[in-house]
C-alpha cells in the first residue's frame, strides 16, 4: 500500500473515496472541514445530520456515492465521538476503521482529509500508523482469499505546505513503526511448526542483517556453558533445542555514561504447559506465547532505522515447553544463571523461568535499564481483561516514563502494585524462590516479583501482555489475531530516553 502526501484540494482529488470525520457534538459537527465539504456538496450533509442519520457516534460510517461537487466517487463520513474525548488514539482508529470499511467494499484508492486542528506531524503519524495496522490480515495460509480485496494507495490531504518537511518525516517515521509492528504480528501469527526456536532465530538473523544490526545467537551448548539452568529446565522436555537471541543497536556516536536499554522478550514458540499440561480447549493459541520476543525484535527493527542516541539490545530466550520424557517436573529445583535456586511448582509457569536467565544475561551484557514483555499470566487477564497491558516496575519514576510513552502512542497500559508483601509469596521452603505464588490470588503480581528477583536494583519494567497480544474478534480498525501491542510504546520510549 502506497501512502503519500497530496497537495490538491479535496474537491479535485481523483480517488475512489474521500474520507473525513464528524464529531458527535452538534455545535462542533459542522465546523471547519465538514462545513467545507457541506458547502462543496451544496448543503447535502446537514440535512442528514438533522434527520439523525449522521450522528457522529464513534466509528459510525456514512457512505455517500457520487457526491456532486467532489471528484471522488464516494464520500465517507466517520463518527469521531465527543470532541473533548478525541485524541490521536481515536484518530488512529478512525483512519484504520475507514480503511477496513472501504477495503471490504472493493475500494482501491482513497484520500484522508483530517480536521484542520489535526494537520500536524503528530496527527499525520497517528493516521499512517492506523492505516498500516488496519491493513494487516491474518490470512497468510488461506489458499482462497476473499475476492483479493486490498487498498493500493492512500493520499493525505490538507496538510500545510509550510510544514511539509516535518509532515513527510512523520509519515516516514510512522511507516517504519507500522511496518515493524506488522513484522511482530507476522511472527506471532506463524504456526509453531513453522516457527520453532531455531526458525525464530533465523528470522531474527535475517531481520538484523537487513536492518544493519548486530546479532548473536546462543545455541544449547553456549546456553549450558553460561549455566542458564532456568531456560534449560524449560527446554529439556522438547526435541527442539532452545536459543538465546541477542540483537544490538549501537549509535554512531555513543555518549560516555549513556544508558543501555535492554528489551527482554519471552519467546515460548509453543506452550503445552509441560507436565502441568494445559486443557485442550484453545491450546492452539499457545503459538502466541512468543509475542513478547516478537515485540522486542520488532522494536529493534524500527530503532535501527530511527537511530536513537542510546544503545538498545533485544534479548529473546526462545524455547518450546513440552511434556516429553525428559521434561522437568513439579518439585524439581533449577539453578538460574544468577545462581539463585528455583523450586518449580508448576511447569506451566515457564515464562518467568526463561526470562530470569535472559534478564541476568542482559545485565551481563551491560544493560543499565530493563523492560521485559511477556504473555505471562492468565491472572492479568482476570484483572484487566483484554483492554490494558499490566505494567509493573521499579523505581516508580522509570515505570511512569514508560507509561507516558504508552499514553503518547495510544497503547493502554495500567500500573500494577508490586509491594514488598508479595515477595513472601514466592519464598520456597527448599530453594531460594518458587515459580508460583503461595497465596490464592495476585498471580500476575507474584510473577512480576519473581522477575524482580533477577532485575534486582536495575531500573526495570515488566509488561504482562497476556490479555492484549492476541485479539479473538476483529475490531473496526483491526483484524482479529496478533496485535503487536507495546511495539509503539517501546520505540517511543527508546527515542525519548
Q: Are 58 and 92 in contact (CB under 8 A)?
A: no
Question: For residues 408 and 469, what is the distance between their CA atoms, to the nearest angstrom?
Answer: 19
Residue 108: how many CA atoms within 13 Å on its side-chain side?
4
Q: If you compute the radius of gyration of the chain from its CA atoms, what whole number of angstroms results?
A: 24
Catalytic residue among 203, 266, 352, 363: 352
Q: Are 401 and 412 in contact (CB under 8 A)?
A: no
Q: Are 264 and 452 in contact (CB under 8 A)?
A: no
Catalytic residue among 278, 305, 407, 412: 278
* The C-alpha cell that represents 221 in the structure block: 551448548
Question: For residues 312 and 369, what is the distance between their CA atoms, to the nearest angstrom?
Answer: 10
List of residues 6+ apart from 52 with CB closer than 8 A: none
254 classed as catalytic:
no
Dihedrals phi, psi of 121, to nearest 5 degrees: -60, -45
Question: For residues 145 and 310, what is the distance between their CA atoms, to the nearest angstrom?
Answer: 43
Question: For residues 477 and 59, what is the distance between their CA atoms, to the nearest angstrom?
Answer: 9
Q: Give yes or no for a cis peptide into 395 (omega within 30° of 0).
A: yes
Question: For residues 413 and 388, what is the distance between their CA atoms, to the nearest angstrom?
Answer: 5
List of residues 6+ apart from 102 with CB closer than 8 A: 16, 17, 19, 74, 76, 110, 151
Residue 136: how many CA atoms within 13 Å on its side-chain side?
29
Instruction: For residue 90, give the nearest of 55, 123, 112 by alpha carbon.
Output: 123
Burial of residue 302 (number of CB atoms within 10 Å: 0-12, 13-18, 19+): buried
352 classed as catalytic:
yes
Q: What residues are annotated to the active site?
A: 278, 352
Amino acid at each position: 500500500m502506497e501512502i503519500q502526501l497530496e497537495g490538491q484540494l479535496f474537491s479535485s482529488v481523483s480517488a475512489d473515496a474521500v474520507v473525513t470525520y464528524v464529531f458527535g457534538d452538534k455545535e462542533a459537527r459542522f465546523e471547519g472541514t465538514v462545513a467545507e465539504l457541506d458547502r462543496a456538496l451544496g448543503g447535502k450533509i446537514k440535512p442528514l445530520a438533522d434527520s439523525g442519520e449522521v450522528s457522529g457516534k464513534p466509528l459510525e460510517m456514512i457512505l455517500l456515492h457520487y457526491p456532486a461537487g467532489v471528484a471522488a466517487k464516494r464520500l465517507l463520513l466517520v463518527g469521531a465521538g465527543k470532541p473533548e474525548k478525541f485524541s490521536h488514539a481515536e484518530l488512529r482508529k478512525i483512519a484504520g476503521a475507514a480503511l477496513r470499511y472501504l477495503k471490504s467494499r472493493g475500494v482501491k484508492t482513497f484520500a484522508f482529509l483530517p480536521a484542520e486542528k489535526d494537520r500536524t506531524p503528530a496527527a499525520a503519524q497517528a493516521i499512517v500508523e492506523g492505516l498500516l495496522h488496519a491493513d494487516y490480515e491474518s490470512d497468510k495460509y488461506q489458499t482462497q482469499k476473499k475476492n483479493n480485496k486490498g487498498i493500493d494507495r492512500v493520499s493525505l490531504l490538507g496538510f500545510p505546505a509550510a510544514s511539509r518537511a516535518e509532515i513527510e518525516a512523520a509519515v516516514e517515521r510512522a511507516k517504519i513503526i507500522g511496518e515493524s509492528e506488522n513484522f511482530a504480528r507476522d511472527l506471532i501469527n506463524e504456526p509453531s511448526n513453522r516457527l520453532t526456536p531455531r526458525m525464530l532465530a533465523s528470522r531474527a538473523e535475517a531481520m538484523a542483517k537487513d536492518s544493519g544490526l548486530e546479532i548473536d545467537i546462543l545455541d544449547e551448548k553456549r546456553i549450558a556453558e553460561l549455566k542458564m539452568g532456568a531456560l534449560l529446565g524449560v527446554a529439556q522436555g522438547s526435541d527442539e533445542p532452545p536459543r538465546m537471541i541477542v540483537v544490538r543497536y549501537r549509535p554512531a556516536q555513543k555518549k560516555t555514561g549513556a544508558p543501555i536499554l535492554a528489551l527482554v522478550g519471552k519467546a515460548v514458540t509453543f506452550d503445552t504447559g509441560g507436565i502441568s499440561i494445559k486443557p485442550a480447549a484453545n491450546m492452539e493459541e499457545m503459538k502466541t506465547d512468543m509475542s513478547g520476543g516478537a515485540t522486542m525484535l520488532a522494536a529493534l527493527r524500527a530503532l535501527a532505522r530511527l537511530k536513537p542516541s542510546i544503545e538498545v539490545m533485544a534479548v529473546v530466550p526462545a524455547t518450546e515447553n513440552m511434556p516429553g520424557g525428559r521434561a522437568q517436573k513439579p518439585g524439581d529445583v533449577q539453578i538460574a544463571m544468577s545462581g539463585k535456586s528455583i523450586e518449580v511448582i508448576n511447569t506451566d509457569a515457564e515464562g518467568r523461568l526463561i526470562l530470569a536467565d535472559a534478564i541476568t544475561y542482559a545485565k551481563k551484557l551491560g544493560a543499565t535499564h530493563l523492560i521485559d514483555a511477556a504473555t505471562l499470566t492468565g491472572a492479568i487477564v482476570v484483572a484487566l481483561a483484554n483492554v490494558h497491558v499490566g505494567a509493573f516496575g521499579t523505581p516508580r519514576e522509570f515505570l511512569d516514563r514508560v507509561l507516558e510513552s504508552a499514553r503518547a502512542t495510544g497503547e493502554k497500559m495500567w500500573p500494577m502494585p508490586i509491594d514488598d508483601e508479595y515477595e513472601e509469596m514466592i519464598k520456597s521452603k527448599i530453594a531460594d524462590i518458587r515459580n508460583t505464588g503461595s497465596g490464592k490470588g495476585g498471580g500476575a503480581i507474584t510473577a512480576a516479583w519473581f522477575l524482580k528477583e533477577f532485575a534486582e536494583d536495575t531500573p526495570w519494567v515488566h509488561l504482562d501482555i497476556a490479555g492484549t497480544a492476541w485479539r479473538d474478534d476483529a475490531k473496526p480498525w483491526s483484524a482479529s489475531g496478533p496485535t503487536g501491542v507495546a511495539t509503539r510504546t517501546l520505540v517511543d520510549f527508546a527515542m525519548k530516553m
